[in-house]
Structure 1
Amino acid sequence: MSVLLQLSDPHFGTERAPVVEALVAFAHALRPDLVVLSGDITQRARRAQFAAARRFVDRLGVRCLAVPGNHDIALFDPVARLMRPYAAFRQAFGAEQWEHESADCLLLGLNTTRPWRHKNGELSAAQVERVAARLAGAAAAQLRIVVVHQPVAVLREEDRRNLLRGHEPALRRWAEAGCDLVLGGHIHLPYVVALKGLARPLWAVQAGTALSSRIRDGISNSVNVLRWDGHPGGSCRIERWDYASAGDFVRHSVSEARPLR
């Protein structure tokens, strides 16, 4: 069984110290196979903030794969934003696009930020096709996951402006290629939604903010835990865990995604 821990939008520079300690303890108890960090790692893309994020990830004791968010590109340094937008990110976390493969899981991470955009994300045709080719070549037992920063589905009309640009053709293409889940963050709201009108079942899995004081609508800091056994006809269990007043993370809800195999 693969166990994945999804963290998003920690916004180092605004992190809550007690939540940091609670999440380290939670990760040590969970012992996931992989930590997935879906963007907005820092608040202002400062090297000290990236260094703090790297120290936190190292404390988890688990391999971490990260994609950048719009906050991970310098906002107030136009030269750095245009000439070396991902320098600090790469120094802390390596390449901003990656993949992870095991016997029962294939994860593909994409950089959906654009240095010339302040907030909105975007997918290129080349990114969509590269991911589709890898998804199509996955083994039957592998859960096929794409990780982006901005959401591909929202629940509230007010959040439509935050949708990832190009998400509709990308979802159609990725569903045809066998995608099961698309993980994202950006809007600090955790939810799981089944996407309709596609070639096969596909779920959007959104994470809230893992560590930041910038919580939204009174929703506590939260993370997602994904569990997948790889069995034909099985389901992926998606658990939302929230930071509680007692000072630890507690399970809030459970959703299930049932991929076609």
Structure 2
Amino acid sequence: MKLAHLADLHFGRENRDALSAAAGIIRELDVDAIVVSGDLTQRGKREEFQAAQEWLSKFSAPVLSIPGNHDTPLLNLPARAADAFGRYERYFGGLTRPLQLDGVSIRGLNTSRGWQARMNWAEGSVNLDDLDAAIGPPDACEGEVRIVACHHPFQSPEKASLQTATRRGAEASARLAASPVQILLTGHVHTPHAELIREPQGRYIAITAGTLSTRLRAQPPAFNIISIQDGIAVLNVQSFEGGRFHEATHGSWDIERVEPIRTPRVVEMSKK
């Protein structure tokens, strides 16, 4: 099982060379699904949504996409307040459905808001009822890999140049750790990152994708390839430098125990 995990495409400020090269890698790897963790557009304009829709339509793999804070009408405040994601739904509403693959369940969660009662509307907010729905029933098939995808990290990645504060993020993190979900896929900070989040209630793997736009924050354009095989999840980050992508392994985990594994097991798996 191979998943392409993208975020922050920002059509309107997209990096066309990186997008073209990324499309080639995704097709070459014949991924089983594509997950987009928000910010498909820069200002939520129709032409930006159309460009994002056209790019994603090139792939035969199923796509799950959730909105980011940039996918609202940036300059239309009444629309942001009354129908923040109406335009997004018209273009991508069909891609917000859960994906049920062979032994892998992926569900989306909208952490973005059109407006908030705080200064920075770009920050995320978790509706805990929506999170429970994304987590799903606890009695899922035994051995199933369960993934939740959203735009904002519940806990801000320490190494990201952009630090973020997601409302109810601490409670969401604890609730996710106590659930059967093993992996959280996010974006927003434009920095590839992976870490094991340990809470008193349990643990989960937090994976953040970079950006494929020109809106860089100390890191080159990047996206993730996540491989799941024989109970092992491996994160390979594709970073765009010198006109092409370079691959590097950023982590590997035993899915059942939700624990990191040693590098030799990754090497052994890659030789199969």
Show CA shifts across 1:30-79 (max 9, x none).
11111000001100000000000011101133221110000000121112
**Aligned residue number for residue 235 of structure 2:** 238
Render the CA deviation track for 1:213-241: whole Å, top value 9, x for unaligned: 11111x11111111112x4xx22111111
Stretch of structure 1 that moved more, 142-151 or 46-55:
142-151
Q: Specify the alignment match of 1:90 in structure 2.
A: 89
Once the two structures are superposed, residues 160-199 of structure 1 have per-residue CA deviations (whole angstroms, 9 ceiling, x without a partner) of 4x13221222222222221111111101011101112343
Aligned residues between the structures? 252
Change (3 A) 1:98 1:164: farther
Select between 148-157 and 22-31 the one with higher mean Cα deviation. Answer: 148-157
Q: In structure 1, what is the equivalent of residue 224 of structure 2?
A: 224
Could you list the runs of 5+ residues in structure 2 that have no partner in the other structure? 258-272
Question: Does the residue aligned with 2:202 lie in a helix, a strand or coil?
Answer: coil
State the identity %. Answer: 27
Of residues 229, 246, 250, the one that matches 1:254 is 250
Query: Alignment partner of 1:91: what SS?
Result: helix
Asked if 1:48 corresponds to 2:47, the answer is yes
Q: Secondary structure at the match of 2:177?
A: helix
Preserved CA contact (<8 Å) 1:5 1:224:
yes
The alignment status of 1:129 with 2:132, answered yes or no, reads: yes
C-alpha distance in 2 between matches for 1:69 and 1:208? 14
Q: CA deviation at 1:255?
A: 0.8
Quote the Cα distance in structure 2 between the aligned partners of 1:166 and 1:257.
Answer: 27
**Cα root mean square deviation, aligned:** 1.8
Query: 1:176 corresponds to which letter in structure 2?
Result: A
Which 10-residue stretch deviates more, 75-84 or 44-53? Answer: 75-84
Cα distance per residue 1:77-109 (max 9 Å; x no partner): 112212221122112111574311123101110
Superposition map of 1:1-261 within 5 A: 2-94=1-93, 97-117=96-116, 118-132=121-135, 134=136, 136-153=138-155, 154-156=157-159, 159-160=162-163, 162-209=164-211, 211-217=212-218, 219-229=219-229, 231=230, 234-245=231-242, 247-260=243-256
Q: Secondary structure of the equivalent of 1:131?
A: helix
| 1:101-153 superposed Cα distances (whole Å, 9 cap, x missing partner) | 12310111011111113211111121122233x15132222111111101123
Q: Structure 1 residues 143 and 94 mapped into 2: Cα distance closer, same or farther (>3 Å)?
A: same
AA aligned opposite 2:122: K
Under a length normalisation based on structure 1, what TM-score does the superposition of the two structures give? 0.90
Q: What's the secondary structure of 2:4's corresponding residue? A: strand
Q: CA contact under 8 A between 2:41 and 2:48: conserved in structure 1?
A: yes
**SS of equivalent residue, structure 1 residue 35:** strand
Contact 2:177-2:198 within 8 A present in 1 as well: no
1:112 partner amino acid: T
Give the AA of the match of 1:181.
I
